Chains A and B, each alone.
Chain A
Amino acid sequence: MSAVAVPTHGTVHDHHAPALDLGTFVRTYVFSLDHKIIGLQFLFSTLLWFLVGGLLALGIRWQLAWPWTDMPIIGRMLFSAEGGQISPEFYTTLFTMHATVMIFFVIIPILAGAFGNYLIPLMIGADDMAFPTLNMLSYWFMWPAFICIGISFLWPPYGAGGGWTSYPPLSVVTEAAPGSAFAQTMWLLGVTFVGVSSMMGSVNYMTTIIQMRAPGMTMFRLPMTIWGMFITAILQAFALPVLTAAGFMQLMDRTMGTGFFLPEGLIVNNSMPATGGGQPLLWQHLFWFYSHPAVYIMILPAMGMVSDIIACFARKPLFGYKPMVYSISGIAGLGFIVWGHHMFVSGMNPLLGMTFMVSTMMIALPSAVKTFNWLGTIWGGKIQFTTPMLFALSFVSMFIIGGLSGIFMAATPVDIFIHDTYFIVAHFHYVLFAGTAMAVFGAIYFWFPKMFGRMMDENLGKIHFFLTFLFLNGTFFTMHILGAVGFPRRLADPYDYETFRHLLPMNQFMTICAIGMVATQVIFAYNFIRSMFFGTPVGRNPWGANSLEWMAPSPPGHGNFDFQPIVYRGPYEYGSPEVDTDFYPQTQPPPSDPARRVKPEHH
């Protein structure tokens, strides 16, 4: 198919040049054009933000378990003004920033930015991205976003507090909330910069995957990771412009007196009457038109990586490769026509809610097909319980919970009761933390040896897995139960309500689990940093995997491959009778004796 010749300049450059003057250092590690360095820059930045987001979550949990009491240690650091106590204004800022950081600075950039960048050229057998400079810019455009959101958080007296969904009029009328003044403008700018960064990445990934595949690498020989990244890039390219436009509309409403989202004459908290002519629901439509596809942006690459890890450690071909590809394509397609399920009780025409209900029900189908195929993959295998495998398996186990809870909310009458309760919070933490974040941990353990040429410690990895798994279920599973009582999200003190007063002990249990979960990550951080320098050195293919990145040196030099990779087959030929090893790299030529060759199955 696409036989684009890959220049083999990997052999020409000697990147281990000993003399490292400042200019070279800056060019190699700071403003680097190499997709691997850019990927690592994304990885380190997002992991640091992960820590920030986790601490913000502890702030939320603290307030829900011990409302209006001094938060030890972090409390006085973060909000000395209140003497370590979380004020209701600050509480709104906390959950706004927690979600913003986790979604825009952790999950989206760690999947596409870190793993997308690192893996795409390696897995398709290219020497770099199609547009290296654009790639570098996509990282550096995250920095204005970091700065804007940082300012938005710290701006006195209170940071942005409109929720990550930023619904007008609360987010548009300056007087509506303490955080709706300058801080909200910075928030909108920050999110816009993330969008610009993602857009640059997305264009690059699509072009690279379409144009730069090694000879023999047909689309249907791509690893699922690449399919996940590819479909994600397409989703971003189509959904992001809508968010960007909506963001600018909100900015203009705020700063120039347009009235896209405000009805005429609206007065909030003695503000000037709005010129109006707008509709608050318009924002919700535009926002979710992006943000529903965005939830798939936040999981499809993880599904891809999980598929690769599971096949590798089941030592068996991925079950139903093509159905898997069709499923993620189906999810992506349907993902554009379900946004209204976030708006069932918003005041949108209930008839429209009915159609969104049907499309939402249907989107659970490809998710189910994927789950069955993962189960099919481990069936009949020879399972190796390595750390990456454990995380990948937990993805499957937890994604089942998150997918099934989606069906409750897709059922419109049930959603009347559980909308904006902890049931929803449980749902998206199962798909996003127990799903994606666990897959990301697995991916880090899996590709770490490729990135740094050393293994991470397996024992520490398993302890990290075990404790995280335990604590995450303690924290999030219980949220379903709170949701069944109708416990609302985003309340600084829900215990004022008689209906919810008795739920305090359960919340305290959850907070203790959440503290344990964050504390467990110290093991991970220690293991990660230590292994970078002292881990056991490895060769090219420590796991005995098939895909192309494992044929390159660990870590790969500039230009990636020291030979021209030629691809003979798909990446999942584990346990093939054609060879004596239990893996069969994509670059290994078929046996010369035609009798040994396996006839392709028809199914």
Chain B
Amino acid sequence: MGRFWSILFLLVPILGVGVFVWAMAGLWPMAGHWLPENVNDHGHVIDNLFMFILILTGVIFIGTGIALFWFLWKYDSANNAAPVAFTHGSHTLEVVWSIIPAAALVFIAIYQMNAWADAKMRRPTLADGRVKPEIAEVTGRQFEWRIRYAGKDGIVGTEDDVQVVNDLHLPVDEEIVLKIKSQDVLHSFFLPNLRIKQDVVPGMKQFVWFRANKTGVYDIVCAELCGWGHYKMRGRITLESREDFDRWLAKAYDEQNQAQYTPATGEAE
């Protein structure tokens, strides 16, 4: 039976890698079972890092998996007449297999710092060096996303703001800054196709930024449990050219003022 069990453990790296490769190739029945389309200029960094770690860990996964299989196969008591190697360890080996992974881990740690800083710390700036103001403010509440555009004056929170629910429109090919917050419990503003995720916390405000490079309509997902309706807290993000966006915003402004829209209580800051 030792042979059988050795092979069972060998199947772990074989099938493990197989499933990943299969999914990456998008073959039936796993079409689209991989990183979803990325339309953010900064998103590639995350995808590349993911792939880099996948390859690195994949090598370790295969290496240790094969070692496990080979030792089980070779030293099966049913087929192995040699006496056991009576050893308590090896100082040299311990040093080697501590230093090599340590070096690899330190490398990954340092290598990714820049990507993290770009995503969460280095907010885009204007030509004069000031931080770029937000184009819109998104507020999560049970169970919808309320969106407020700056309007003509470029400032959120004034008379000419445009307000919509769950329907975020943004122009492509420019740095977008969004201010996101929560009105009640925790939510998380997740844009899978832009590799953006940020929890929103009542009492705090957060900023996310990205530069979309493709027009289209994508999902806004709530990724932090916010109550029974968490699953249906779904918004849509429409990425369009600057002209289309301006036209849409103007139309939304007109419609809103015709309808005498008044914000619900509790929404004003």
Contacts and interface: CB of A to CB of B under 8 A. Distances in A.
Contacts of B88: 317-321, 572, 601, 603
A233 interface: no
Contacts of B192: 417, 485-486, 499
A543 to B, nearest CB: 13
Interface stretch (A33-41, A224-232, A260-268): A260-268
Interface stretch (B75-83, B128-136, B148-156, B168-176): B75-83
A357 B109 contact: yes
B9 A393 contact: yes
B50 A364 contact: no
Contacts of A132: none
Given A411-B108, A484-B23, A486-B190, A268 B86 contact: no
Interface string B141-163: 01000000000000000000000
B252 interface: no
B204 A347 contact: yes
B195 A491 contact: no
A350 B118 CA distance: 11
A174 B44 CA distance: 42
Contact of B185 (A170, A417, A421): A170
Contact of A414 (B5, B50, B68, B198): B50
Given A178-B228, A414-B50, A494-B231, A379 B112 contact: no
A469 B46 CA distance: 33
Contacts of A381: 71, 75, 84-85
Nearest to A390: B5
A364 B93 contact: no
Interface in A238-284: 262-264, 266-269, 276, 279-281
A30 interface: no
Contacts of A169: 184-186, 202
B38 to A, nearest CB: 10
Interface residues of B, number: 101
Contacts of B224: 167, 420
B193 A345 contact: no
Contact of B227 (A176, A346, A601): A176
A361 interface: yes
Interface string B187-198: 010101101111
Interface in B13-50: 15-16, 19-20, 23, 29-36, 45-46, 49-50
B119 interface: yes
A167 B225 contact: yes
Nearest to A158: B228
Interface stretch (A4-12, A72-80, A514-522, A574-582): A574-582
A281 B61 CA distance: 36
B126 interface: no
Contact of A364 (B35, B46, B105): B105
Contacts of B250: none
Interface string B48-76: 01100110110011001101100110011
B218 interface: yes
Given A266-B202, A365-B102, A575-B84, A416 B94 contact: no
B85 A368 contact: no
B185 A411 contact: no
B262 interface: no
A482 B33 CA distance: 7
B260 interface: no
B116 A412 contact: yes
A365 B101 CA distance: 7
19 contacts: A161-B227, A173-B185, A269-B184, A361-B105, A362-B105, A364-B101, A372-B97, A375-B68, A380-B84, A393-B72, A407-B108, A408-B57, A413-B49, A416-B119, A416-B196, A462-B1, A481-B23, A499-B193, A505-B29
Interface of A: 87-89, 91-92, 158, 161-163, 167, 169-170, 173, 176-178, 262-264, 266-269, 276, 279-281, 314-323, 345-347, 350-351, 353-354, 357-358, 361-362, 364-365, 368-369, 371-373, 375-376, 378-385, 390, 393-394, 396-398, 400-401, 404-405, 407-408, 411-414, 416-417, 419-421, 462, 466, 469, 473, 477-478, 480-482, 484-486, 488, 490-494, 496-499, 502-503, 505-506, 572, 574-577, 582, 601, 603
Interface of B: 1-2, 5, 8-9, 12, 15-16, 19-20, 23, 29-36, 45-46, 49-50, 53-54, 56-57, 60-61, 64-65, 67-68, 71-72, 75-77, 80, 83-91, 93-94, 97-98, 101-102, 105-106, 108-109, 112-113, 115-117, 119-121, 142, 184-186, 188, 190, 192-193, 195-204, 206, 218-219, 221-232, 234, 266
